[in-house]
Amino acid sequence: MSRKVLGLDIRADSLSAVLVKGSLRESRIAASLTVPIDATGGDPGGLPAALEAVAAAMDLQNADCVVSVPAALFSCRNVFVPFGNSKKIRMVLPYELEPHLPYPADEMLVDFAILDGSEDRGETEVLTVAVERQRLAPILAALAAVKIEPERVTLSGFAAAAWIGRNLEPDQTALCLDIGETSGALFVVAGARVRLIRTFPLPADPAARGRAVRSHIRLTMGALNELSAAPKPPAAIFLTGSGIAGMNLEVLADALPVELKPADLTRLLGVPHDDDAGAWDPLRMDGALALVLAEIEGLESLNVYRSQFPGRKIISRHRENLVRTGVLAAAVLILMFASVLIQSTLLSRRVADLDQQIASVFREAFPDAKKVADPYQQMQINLQELKKSAALPGEALSTLRSIDILKSISDSIPEEIQVVLDRMVIGPETILISGTTAAFNAVDEIKGHLERISEFKKVTISSANMDRTGKEVNFQLKVDL
């Protein structure tokens, strides 16, 4: 599934925007742009105009947005808490930080990252950042003016430091230095995590800025060496940020005990960019690119802003597809209902036809029935009565079976009389016997012998006719029981 993400790295003097189209196969830079911010336009300066320029230059429809704001706006601290549950930490952290902050806890936006520790040891180290709501409010208002609601808001340079940390060896330590025109941030990265953040002001003059950066690096490295639980000494210092322009990096490198490396995330992470994506300046663009890649890859990041209505954004973004899906679903439901209704009507007609056929069969089988209410039930009752009457045909047959009647007939007819009995129908009061014999007088003899059976009241010759060959006589006898 493809996704479009916009990264906005907001600085005091410029806005860097990077638009990335991500898919399961790769992520490509589709557009990039840096817009200067006129600081004379009031607080937050010319940010609204810069955002309008980005919105006009890029296709931001259905694009998610992640934002970083100057690190100088944040207060960053490492604190220890007596538990490791993130929910508990989030509840108590504002009040834990309040004595160290110049503003009340309810006026600050706070986020944190758990570094080390466990409840078994009784303490957990937490990296915290806090920003005043009033400082962030104008930036959010400017974003809302161009219909951008960010997925996350973090401090500049943090995402880039996190990506650099992920590409270090597990036991390596590095410093990531993000330099702006008037402020900077130093990130200590160890074990693939940002473990310490320092922010500081910088002078506008490039030479003075270089001396100030060198001083802050030395102070940070000295502080790390004095900590008992400090990570290994840093192996390199990675530079990013537009404030590097004009600085003498050779002089800075010679004054530091570790290697100095300008960062380039496109090369480090292998991110391609389209031909029409615009000129690429890694010092200005890496911050925005790191934000986008962190959002696409789900990289853990500090976030002081959480949308109150994430579901509304999803509905707004996919409204057309949702409406189309809803129409199709409604059409399918209507068709299903129509199909069920048609099948029900056809089955009802089929049942009515079968009821008529059952009633017709019942009337044919039992013409004496006066009223037909439930032909199936009535037929069952009548058949049961017939079975009872057939099982008990009368006093003469109360103890006789069909096989006994056949034996009595066979015993009564002498062997010298040639006779073949073709059919015998036994009823409750009569027996019909059909067969063939050699002559008409043989029929009379058979009738006389059958009359001697005690169970037979009367034997009558119903018919006696010569067959077509003239050699045999077909006869039928009726026996009254």
DSSP string of 91-132, one letter each residue: HHHHHHHGGGSSS-GGGEEEEEEEEEEETTTTEEEEEEEEEE
Residue 45 predicted with pLDDT over 60: no
For residues 247 and 312, what is the distance between their CA atoms, to the nearest angstrom?
46
Question: Are 426 and 380 in the same domain?
Answer: no
Residue 174 contacts residue 237 (beta carbons within 8 Å): yes
* Span 376-393, average pLDDT: 73
Question: Are 424 and 308 in the same domain?
Answer: no
Question: Are 365 and 422 in the same domain?
Answer: no
- CATH number of the CATH domain containing 458: 3.30.1360.100
pLDDT band at 396 (very low <50, low <70, confident <90, very high): very low
Query: How many of the other CB atoms lie within 10 Å of CB of 297?
Result: 12
Q: Which amino acid is at 253?
A: A
Question: Are 329 and 308 in the same domain?
Answer: no
Query: What Å distances lie between residue 63 and 2, 58, 59, 92, 272, CA to CA?
Result: 11, 10, 8, 35, 19
- Domain annotation covers residue 123: yes
For residues 31 and 269, what is the distance between their CA atoms, to the nearest angstrom?
17
**For the segment 142-151, what is each residue's pLDDT rounded down to a tens digit?**
999 998 989 8
**Which of 316-325, 346-355, 376-385 has the weakest average pLDDT?**
316-325
Question: Are 157 and 275 in the same domain?
Answer: yes
Q: Which of 317, 332, 362 is the last residue of a domain?
A: 317
Listed in sequence order, the residues at least 6 apart from 56 whose beta carbon sits closer than 8 Å to its beta carbon are: none
Question: Are 23 and 148 in the same domain?
Answer: yes
pLDDT band at 395 (very low <50, low <70, confident <90, very high): very low
- Domain annotation covers residue 472: yes
Instruction: Report pLDDT for 399.
Output: 55
pLDDT band at 391 (very low <50, low <70, confident <90, very high): low
- Domain annotation covers residue 32: yes
* Span 295-314, average pLDDT: 75
Question: Are 30 and 106 in the same domain?
Answer: yes
Residue 417 contacts residue 442 (beta carbons within 8 Å): yes
* Span 264-284, average pLDDT: 84
Question: Are 328 and 446 in the same domain?
Answer: no
Residue 213 predicted with pLDDT over 80: yes
Instruction: Report pLDDT for 110.
Output: 92
Question: Are 330 and 298 in the same domain?
Answer: no
pTM, two decimals, is 0.65
Q: Which of 391, 413, 444 is the last residue of a domain?
A: 391
Residue 255 predicted with pLDDT over 90: no
- Domain annotation covers residue 56: yes
pLDDT band at 10 (very low <50, low <70, confident <90, very high): very high
pLDDT band at 397 (very low <50, low <70, confident <90, very high): very low
Q: Supply the Cα-derived Rg of the chain in whole angstroms.
A: 51
Question: Are 312 and 413 in the same domain?
Answer: no
- Domain annotation covers residue 240: no
**Of 446, 390, 384, nearest in space to 413 by CA:** 446
Please give the share of the chain, as a percent, with pLDDT higher than 90: 34
Range(s) of the domain holding residue 385: 324-391
Helix 310-317 crosses helix 319-365 at what angle (to 10 degrees)?
80
Q: Exposed/middle/buried for 115, CB within 10 Å: 0-12, 13-18, 19+?
A: middle
Share the mean pLDDT of the chain. 85
The pair phi, psi for residue 27, each rounded to 5°, is -120, 130
- Domain annotation covers residue 75: yes
Q: Which amino acid is at 263?
A: A
**Which of 140-149, 250-259, 300-309 has the weakest average pLDDT?**
300-309
Query: How many of the other CB atoms lie within 10 Å of CB of 345?
Result: 10
What secondary structure, in 3-state letters, does the chain show?
CCEEEEEEEECCCEEEEEEEEECCCCEEEEEEEEEECCHHHCCCCCHHHHHHHHHHHCCCCCCEEEEEECHHHEEEEEEEECCCCHHHHHHHHHHHHHHHCCCCHHHEEEEEEEEEEECCCCEEEEEEEEEEHHHHHHHHHHHHHCCCCCCEEEECCHHHHHHHHHCCCCCCEEEEEEECCCEEEEEEEECCEEEEEEEEECCCCHHHHHHHHHHHHHHHHHHHHHCCCCCCCCCEEEEECHHHCCCCHHHHHHCCCCEEEECCHHHHHCCCECCCCCCCCHHHHHHHHHHHHHHHHCCCCCCCCCCCCHHHHHHHHCHHHHHHHHHHHHHHHHHHHHHHHHHHHHHHHHHHHHHHHHHHHHHHHCCCCCCCCCHHHHHHHHHHHHHHHHHCCCCCCCCCCHHHHHHHHHHHCCCCCCEEEEEEEECCCEEEEEEEECCHHHHHHHHHHHHCCCCCCEEEEEEEEECCCCCCEEEEEEEEC
Query: What Å distances lie between residue 192 and 134, 217, 247, 400, CA to CA?
Result: 33, 20, 29, 103
Question: Are 133 and 47 in the same domain?
Answer: yes
* Span 80-100, average pLDDT: 86
**Which of 65-79, 113-127, 174-188, 243-257 has the weakest average pLDDT?**
113-127
- Domain annotation covers residue 429: yes
Q: Which of 357, 391, 425 is the last residue of a domain?
A: 391
The two three-digit tokens of residue 428, written as one number: 């409750």
- Domain annotation covers residue 184: no
Question: Are 30 and 127 in the same domain?
Answer: yes
Instruction: Report pLDDT for 387.
Output: 74
Q: How many domains are contained in the chain?
A: 3
